[in-house]
Amino acid sequence: MNAVGGTIPVLDPPAAKAPRAKVRASGAMATVLYPTIALALLLLFNLLFTAGFFHVEVRDGRLFGSLIDILNRGTPVLLLSLGMTLVIATGGIDLSVGAVMALAGAVAACLIARPEDSPLHVFNVSHSLPLILIIALSVALLAGLFNGILVATFKLQPIVATLILMVAGRGAAQLVTNGQIPTFQHPSFEFLGSGFLFGLPFPLILAVLIFLVILGFVRGSALGLLIEAVGNNPVAARLAGVQASGVKLVCYVISALLAGVAGLIATADIKAADVNNTGLYLELDAILAAAIGGTSLAGGRFSLVGAAVGALVIQTLTTTILARGIAPELTLVIKAAVVVALCLLQSSKFRELLVRIAIRRRA
């Protein structure tokens, strides 16, 4: 960024605007560069070695194929990673997103199926999809407020504060379903998980829309700047008048809301609320996506675009492994190896080391 800045000629003000905007873009590009290269390499590998990976066909006016599958399956992690990125940028972490997914899904499923033994049986709202969605997302919102208040007001360490809901959230979900796995039939709700719109899977369209809304909300307002200020130097941010507690609260609420949406998608997809498995370990994938996307876990600068690319990398990797028929016991090992390599590439220390080794070789 520095080097690029140095090449900017001093022009008269109107003309200077255009190249400056480019500098900003290239700065953002730098963090997104490595995950994008990784994604491209993964796709290239599949292009060369996995037959039919790029095959996309139209069936009944709907698109099918591995690529579509990656985008579709990747939506929950994509949604989680956006919220996770914001939380991480404030210097925190949200371990509860997987559990919040399960909780929101359980609430929606029980409102639809109304099993006798669920405490939600008393609510008769199964006829109204908007009410179901609003109630389920409100529960997610409450979870976000709970996390946010613990971290922002009571200054609990984020990892501990969100660990509470990571464990208790699934417990609450079990209370909601009374330990059962309620199944349901509700075509308009199922559309959320398996519907198609304009030939594309509906979850994908929804995720893209949400991504754009969040991006606009965070970068269009000054929230992004204040988040980065709080995460980068909390002491200086406080002295500059940034209200860290408010900023953090908003981030944890966004994170939980996005987890709620992801939970609804996952639940609608399987037409059941499997609270023990919905969103299980997805908080880890979300953290990984944020890290691969170039957001430092120490907080500060963040990239939502990077997080989205990171989520795609993780899903592409998973799909690739499945498509190649690699033995399931190797799957996690391979995934881990790729992730380690990516995270090392995001470390400027490691890149310096590589350069130094290369120079020594040549000498």
Partner 1 sequence: METALSARGLTKRFPGVLALDSVDFHARAGEVHALMGENGAGKSTLIKILTGVYSYDAGQMFLDGKAIQPVSPLHAQRLRIATVYQEVNLIPALSVAENIYLGRMPKRWGGFGGIDSRAMIRGAKNSLAQLDVHIDVTKPVQSFSVALQQMVAIARSLSMSAKVLILDEPTSSLDRPEVEQLFSTMRRLKENGLAIIFVTHFLDQVYAISDRITVLRNGRLVGEHLARDLPRLKLVSEMVGRDVAELKHGGAADRQSAPLSPFVEAKGLGRSGAVGPLDLSIGRGEIVGLAGLLGSGRTETARLLFAADKPDAGTITVDGRTQHLGNPRNAIALGFAFCPEDRKVAGILPDLSIRENIVVALQARRGWWRPIPLRKQREMAEKYIAALRIATNDAEKPIRLLSGGNQQKAILARWLAASPTLLILDEPTRGIDVGAKAEISALVEKLCAEGMSLLFISSELEEVAALCSRVIVLRDRQKVGELSGSDVTEKAILTKVAG
What is the signed CA dihedral for 126, 119, 258, 317, rounded to 10 degrees? -100
Torsional sign, CA 280, 248, 254, 273? positive
Nearest-approach distance from CB 74 to partner 1, in angstroms: 29
- Give the DSSP letter of residue 199: T
Q: Where are the alpha helices (DSSP H) in the chain?
A: 2-6, 13-49, 66-73, 75-89, 97-113, 129-148, 158-177, 187-194, 202-220, 223-232, 234-239, 244-270, 282-292, 304-323, 328-346, 348-362
**Cβ 247 to partner 1 shortest distance, Å:** 7
CB of 91 to partner 1, least distance (A): 12
Judged by beta carbon, residue 223 or residue 323, the one nearer partner 1 is 223
User: Least separation, in Å, of the C-beta of 29 and partner 1?
Assistant: 13
> Least Å distance between CB 258 and partner 1?
19
128 sits in the region (left: phi over 0; alpha: psi -120 to 50; else beta) called beta
Mapping DSSP to helix (H, G, I), strand (E, B) and coil, where does residue 197 land? Answer: strand
Q: How far is the CB of 353 from partner 1 (least distance, A)?
A: 21
Please check whether residue 84 is in contact with residue 283, taking contact to mean a CB–CB distance below 8 angstroms: yes
- Smallest separation (angstroms) from partner 1 to the CB of 58: 42
CB nearer to partner 1: give 87 or 136: 87
**For partner 1, the closer CB: 26 or 157:** 26
Q: Which is nearer to partner 1, 98 or 231 (CB)?
A: 231
Angstrom distance (rounded) from CA 120 to CA 24: 50
Distance CA 353, CA 174 (A): 49
46 or 295, CB closer to partner 1? Answer: 295
Is residue 85 within 8 A of residue 293, CB to CB? The reply is yes
**Whose Cβ is closer to partner 1: residue 21's or residue 58's?**
21
| For partner 1, the closer CB: 65 or 234 | 234
Rounded to whole angstroms, the Cα distance separating 56 from 44 reads 16
Give residues in contact with partner 1 (CB under 8 A): 1-2, 5-6, 8, 10, 17, 20, 23-24, 27, 220-223, 225-226, 228-229, 232-233, 235-243, 247, 300-301
